[in-house]
Amino acid sequence: MTTRGRFEKGMDEKAKKYTLSVPFDKRLYKHDIAGSIAHARMLAKQGVISDKDAELIIMGLTSIRDEIERGDFEFKDELEDIHMNVEARLIEKTGDVGAKLHTARSRNDQVAVDMRMFVKDAASETIAGIKALQKALLDLAEGNLDVVMPGYTHLQRAQPVLFAHHMLAYFEMMQRDIERLKLGRERADVMPLGSGALAGVPYPIDREFLAKELGFSRISANSIDAVSDRDFVVDYHAAASVTMMHISRLAEEIVLWASAEFSFVEIDEGFATGSSIMPQKRNPDVAELARGKTGRVYGNLMAALTMMKGLPLAYNRDLQEDKEGLFDTVDTLQSTLDVLAGMMATLRVNGERMWQVATENYTLATDVADYLVKKGVPFRRAHGIVGSLIRYAADNGKTLPELNSAEYKKFSDRFEEDIETLTVESSIAARDVPGGTAPGRVKSALKRAREMLDGS
């Protein structure tokens, strides 16, 4: 007589559909099969199963992986998840030998190891994507090394800076993103197999062997924590959210700069769209979508945090909800990085327009105040003097370079004829401090950035 185990009747169809995860967790097949192959080898090494059985199991698992990659594998919803689909197919192929595979493990530690391997791989892929975008930014900066643009605060023209200096700001942001992802990858680099359902397993397993086989640097210290921990998933979401925030800032500037009002850049036709009724339009849809998709990555982070906040130890089925959001975040971030790298690599910079705007609207006012400070005027008093000077220039429809020394002297006797030599170029050159926008500093920063990119 065949027993149904603990339950006398089958699961309600609606409940079965509600609880199944194979439509999305089948994405973990490579990691699941890799974990199972390592587990089979360990069981044989420890004498829990025979070498022959392990060999048959590994051959079966390898053929199942090939079936999935060829598209020949039939995923069955009634088998609920990727783990049971693979195991059922293995038993079809090898009989009772395949049924031995699940010895000394639970689906709880099985899915934990799958997810950790997935996050490690995803972090590495994302880091590569960030580096590709960084390269595009550096190429763009180096190709426009002499271009001057207005720097902004409060979206108001503030001081002239080199365009390359502005691009390097995004390089630095993304370098921090890489460091966050590396840290997240390190935190995911913990091997949970051997934890069983929550208490460990009563077999003479070799967890260090499993860790080595699967490329983990260490094993989990507590079996309860190992099966219930998803901090590493939250870490990836958090790092991805910060990265998307940085991408969104860049995208927002591209949207602004590509407008007729700015005309700082022109987006390549391959990364823009037209209008359904206005034939003159070139819409920055790629940049706008990158900006918009940031919200869904934030949402996935909040969903993961909310899922975890009230879970008692150890495993709970709520943890099934860790996957779809994570997969979506990985896909959203990776596709955004890929398309942004292409867009930035083909962006055309309008240096003449940037120069024009950088020389307007009194962007040299701070330099005039600094001039007075060097002549012995306290900065706060110099600030007030220049404010009055700017009001005078505006009332007379003049820019600072259009004022002569006699006009300057009306506001302070510390002004001399050399005030007329103040230019955008001299302003930029004066910022010759580490991290500043002076040409020599920017060239050094570009060299450092290139070395970081090429050497990392």
Report, as residue numbers or ranges, the catalytic residues: 154, 275
CA distances from 194 to 37, 209, 218, 224, 342 (A): 14, 11, 13, 11, 44
Asked if 127 and 181 count as a contact pair (C-beta separation under 8 A), the reply is yes
**The dihedral formed by the CA atoms of 234, 236, 242 and 247, expressed in degrees to the nearest 10:** -140
Asked if 131 and 178 count as a contact pair (C-beta separation under 8 A), the reply is yes
